[in-house]
Structure formats: structure tokens, C-alpha cells
Amino acid sequence: MKKSLTKKTEPVNPADILQAVPLSQIAFRPDHNNRDRSDFADADFDSLVASIAKVGVLQPVLLRPIKCGYELVAGERRARAKIKLAIANGGLDENTIPATIREMSDAEASEFMLVENLQRKALSPLAEARGFRDYVNKGGDGATERLAEKISMSPAHIRRHMAILDLPGEILESWDKDVIAFGHLEQMIRVPADNAIDLFNWMIDQAKSWRGQTPTVKELAQRINNQAPGIKEARFNVKQAGCATCHRNSDQQKSLFEVADLEKMQCMNPSCFKAHQLAHMQKVWLTTKTGKEAHTKTCLFSDSLKYDQYNAFGYGDKSPEACIKCDKFVSLIRLDGHATHERVCIGDEACFKNARAGTVPAKQAKAEIAKAAAEKANARATKHGTEFREVLFAEKIPELIKKTSAQSGLALKLALTAMVHMNSGLKEWFSKEMTGEEICGYNRPLPTEVMNWCDRLDDATVKQYLKDAAAIVALQDDFGHDGRFGFATRIGLDLQRDFVITEEYLKKKTIAEIHEIGEQHKVFADENAKHYLHNVLHKAEKGVGVLKKSELIKLFTQSGANLAGKVPAEIMDIAA
């Protein structure tokens, strides 16, 4: 297990003063005044107001002295909740709030506020990432490592979350709304912003299509890799083009091309690669074998033109004299530089037909016309056959399914086939189960293959696969948290019985939140916890309040305190 960094609490400052401060003497920093107002207009905030009205403010806010009173450094939600109550109960002058007064510089106050904001329980992933960036930008050298230590996260986690902020806003907003996962973002930062937008639109289209779900991170990575040209396909000089030091090559600047594995290296900026490749091919085109034989003026990438933007000469055709002199007479090539069409006309269609008429014998022209007519007739027949078979399927499949016994082996196999076909994750899993190989992307099995696999299974095996498939689908992102809860309870999960407070859970909590959990569930009163506090941590019985976060976590997880059935309220509140 990796050794994670733990937050170091602020040392107790003997100069700190604890006192009740009139609300009218407290000012908010500009950083606070620009905060999202939704922070103080939600159910959680209303609940906090109700709690303070009933029992008061249990944890002091942190203030620093300024000329006209005090400035709020930490505890804004508590302060605003208290102000809301005070307005209806005598005003700000007549109401106070418990506060710790501490001398702090502007820089110290800003840093403390940034860290406090990052430790808010309800902070969204996007807000957290932006908070990381704000802290690091203001902190200078070593800021990432200092922040990691303060909030008990690894520097790598912080850097990864800051890196994705370079993505376009609409992508980040979709992540913040749980439409896509963080893993998708990490794949998208491999490519330029325009490519990332294209990939994002593709993902949204896939989710809206017959498939009905967002592509997995593995599928997105595969699409990026499929679109990324291999450096070995470069006809241009990769060193002169600057590819060796470009952060878009797949080795990410770790090695130069002289020593790198050219067979595996890819360019993650296809548009840049294509521009270099085309410029080079056009420069040397007249010296290439295809250019000499076809007599074309230049070359273009075949995917740069739509099918109706050019007319192709046959491979047996000669190059017409009139075309050889025309700038519209070109060759189409693939990204690797090889020709897909040696001779095409990108000019007027009538001119093309006149030019080609003089190069094709009459007998050949007649045969081509007859062939085209036959292909058109066959296409119509195929279309009609498919169309009316579908009509029959729509009528008979539901009827025949109803007649099939729900407990029969056939019904189970049909159910498994349908489940696997409609879920990309199940296709990958079932393919590996049946073949022993990883199969993803466009290589996924067709429904006929899935049915053939199911036909070879006995009924008991099919039942087990159905249960396995259900478990896989239940854990997928688009199944949703509420769906998983309902699923889990139906198969016997009990939150009160099965949830256990773990080290990873406590690392996500602030010191105040850990104290609250410990008090509510009487963890600190457990004899094992008392023994650990005195004999291992060497603190007095009432010394829980001065423990560092790492020590508090150990008190919970290593003391042997009984945590069975001690479940925090947030775990039990499924509606939260």
C-alpha cells in the first residue's frame, strides 16, 4: 500500500485568543465576497442554520485583527448562518459568535482560506481542481508538495487534477455534472483542444445513439490511439519538424527519436502531423513513382475530400493529355503517403467525362454501364429484402418470445445475449470469458457470435453468467448511485451492518469532522481507544483535541476500538 501524505494541523498558537465577537465587527475578505451564492442557498446551509439556532456555534470561526475590527479567515458558512439568525433576532450588534483571534499576514490568511476551501465536504471535483491551481499559482516553488501535506493527498493527484483544467469549459462542466469520468479527461489532455472537442462530441453522440451509454475510458483511449498516426509513417524529417521535443508525441519528451522505439511512438496531434506530411509529399510529389507514372500535378489526402468532390479515372485508363496540363488533375493519398486513387479530377464533371471518353474503348465503356446498372438493381433488391424481413421480425419476435417458457434454457440464453449486446462493458467481459483474449473497440463480437457462444453453454453456466453480468452493469457509472443502492439492498446489503470506518474514509474528512464522528459514536470512550491514546500516542485522556489528523486516524483504525455498527450519518442518508 502506498504511503500517503497526511495533513499537518496548525500548531497551537499561545497568542491565539478565544472570545465572543459581535457579528457587526466581522468583515469578509474579497475572496469570500466573490464566492458562489449557492453555497448559502441549499438544504445543507438551511440545516446548519437550524442547528445553530438550536445548539449554537460549536466550533469557533477564525478571525484576524484589522483596523476596523476583524476579518474572517475560516468558518464562512457558520458566520453567514449566524448572521441570518441575528438579522431576525436583535441585529448584528446584539449577537456574537465564538471566534479564535490570530495575528496573520495577508499571505497567511489567503493560504489558510484556500486550504480551508479545499477541505469543504461538499466541494465539487471541478471546484477542487481550480482550488489546487489557485493555491499552487499563489504559492510559488514547492507549493504542490506543501498543499499535498496539508490536505492529505499526493502531489501526483494534485498535478493530475490541475492538468485537466486546460481542457475546454464544456468538457469540464460535463465532468463536474458526472456525465463523463475523470479518466476520460486524462485521455483528452493527450490531444489538442480541437481534437478533445471532437472526441467529446463523439462520446455524447454515442450516448444518444442506439447504444445508449457513454463510451468507457478504455474505448476513448482506443479511439485516440486509432486516430494517432505512428511516427514511423512520417515521410518528413521528424527532427527538423520539432517532433522530438513536442509534448504531443507519445513518449512525452522522455527520449529523442534517435533512441526511441519508432515502431510504437505516436503523434497525438494528427492535424499537425498531417500538415507536415502533406507539405513534404507535395514538395517531392513529382519525383515519386506514383507522381511520375500518373503525371498528376500534386497530391491531396483522400479524407480531405467528400465522395462527390472528385471523379476518379480507372486504373486501366491512360492520363489524358488535356488533364496532364491541368491543376485539377491530382492523386489522392493516405496519411502514410501511399495512393488510394492515382488519378482523379477535382474540377468540372463535364470536363472529366469528355476527357475520359477519349481514353476508354467503346466496348469497355458499354460493359461499365451494364455493370453499374446491375449493381443498382442488386442494391434495390437487397434493400427490399432487408426491409420486409424487418417487418416480419417486428411482428413475430415478440410473439414467439411470449411463447417461450421463462424458466427454459433458451429464455436464459436469449436474455444473456440481449444483455451482452446492449452493453459495451459486457461485450468486452464476455468476449474475454469465451476467447481468453481482450477484445474492445470495433472488434467487439456481433450478436450472432454472442448467440453462438451462448448455445455452447449449459443452463447452470448461463445462470451464473447472468448473475455476473448483473453485477458488472450495477457497478458501471451510468447505473447511478441510487440504482446501485437499490440493487445492493435487494441482494442483502445493510449499511448499518456492513459499512466499516476505514483509513481511506477518514483521510477524506477534516479533523473537525473526525472529532464529530468520534464523539457521536463514542469511539473516544472505548477502552481500547483510551489505552492507545495513553500508551501509544502518549497523550493524556483529554488529549484527543491536540492530536494530528494522522494520529486520529490511527486511533480509529489501529487501537482496536469497536467500530461495528458505528456508521456516520452521511453514509446512512441515501438521499444526500
What per-residue confidence (pLDDT) applies to 33? 41
Alpha carbons 2 and 129: distance in angstroms, whole number: 22
DSSP string, 246-315: -TTBTTTTSS-TTTS-TTT-BBS-HHHHHHHHHHHHHHHGGGSHHHHHH--SEEEEGGGS-GGG-EEPPT
Strand pairing category for 329-333 and 339-345: antiparallel
Task: Determine the residue type at 191.
Answer: V
What is the Cα–Cα distance from 421 to 418, expressed in whole angstroms? Answer: 5
Indicate yes or no: pTM above 0.75.
no
Q: Please, are residues 570 and 576 in contact by the beta-carbon 8 Å criterion?
A: yes
d(CA 90, CA 71): 22
3-state secondary structure 543-565: HHHHCCHHHHHHHHHCCCCCCCC
Provide the pLDDT for residue 9: 41
**Cell (9 digits) for 227:** 486516430
Provide the pLDDT for residue 464: 94
Q: Could you say which DSSP state residue 523 is in?
A: -
Cβ 465 vs Cβ 457: under 8 Å = yes
3-state secondary structure of 170: helix
Q: Which residues pair with 490 in a beta bridge?
A: none
**Interacting residues of 572 by C-beta distance below 8 A, sequence separation 6+:** 495, 496
Cα–Cα distance for residue pair 571/576, rounded to 1 Å: 9
CA distances from 57 to 51, 79, 83, 123 (A): 8, 9, 12, 22
Question: What pLDDT is recorded for position 560?
Answer: 93
**CA separation, residue 568 to residues 250, 353, 407, 480, 503 (Å):** 45, 79, 43, 22, 14
Report d(CA 483, CA 475) in Å as an integer. Answer: 10
pLDDT score recorded for residue 208: 79
Q: Which three cell numbers stand for residue 256?
A: 529523442
Rounded Cα gap, residues 236 and 450, in angstroms: 45
pLDDT at residue 440 in the model: 62
Angle formed at CA 498 by CA 492 and CA 504, multiple of 5 degrees: 135
Sketch the domain layout of the chain as residue ranges: 17-163, 167-227, 288-360, 409-490, 495-572
Do 343 and 315 touch, CB atoms closer than 8 A? no
C-alpha–C-alpha distance, residues 256 and 124, integer Å: 40
> What single-letter DSSP state applies at residue 230?
B
Q: What pLDDT score does 4 carry?
A: 35
HSE-CB for 111 with a 13 A CA cutoff: 17
pLDDT for the residue 6: 37
Contacts of 472 (CB under 8 A, 6+ apart): 423, 425, 426, 429
DSSP letter for 98, please.
E
Identify whether the C-beta of residue 6 lies closer than 8 Å to the C-beta of residue 549: yes
What is the C-alpha separation between 499 and 181, in angstroms, rounded?
25
Residue 570 has φ and ψ, to the nearest 5°, of -65, -25
Residue with cell 499552487: 136
Q: What sign for the dihedral angle of Cα 408, 414, 415, 416? A: positive
Nearest by Cα to 269 from 242, 290, 304, 299: 242
Neighbouring C-alpha atoms within 13 Å toward the C-beta of 488: 14
d(CA 23, CA 18): 15
Distance spanning both ends of the chain, measured CA to CA:
31
Is-contact 183 217, C-beta < 8 A? yes
Closest C-alpha to 534, from 564, 559, 503: 559
Kindly report the number of other CB atoms within 10 A of residue 290's CB atom.
16
Rounded to 5 degrees, what are φ and ψ at 366?
Answer: -65, -40
Count the neighbouring beta carbons within 10 Å of the beta carbon of residue 329.
Answer: 24
Which pLDDT score is estimated for 361? Answer: 59
Q: What's phi and psi for 332, nearest 5 deg? A: -105, 135
Protein fold of 17-163: 3.90.1530
Query: Please, what are the averages of pLDDT over each run of 10 residues along the chain (576 residues)?
Result: 38 67 84 49 77 86 88 87 89 88 81 70 74 81 82 82 89 87 89 89 83 83 84 87 79 43 72 93 94 92 89 80 89 91 90 74 65 80 86 88 87 91 86 82 78 91 93 85 87 91 91 90 92 87 80 93 91 71
Nearest to residue 36, comparing CAs of 82, 76, 85, 79? 76
| Cα–Cα distance list, 462 to 47, 423, 430, 453, 465 (Å) | 50, 17, 11, 10, 5
Name the grid cell of 494: 445493510
Dist CA 44 CA 123 (whole Å): 13
Match 502531423 to its residue by C-alpha cell: 273
pLDDT at 260: 44
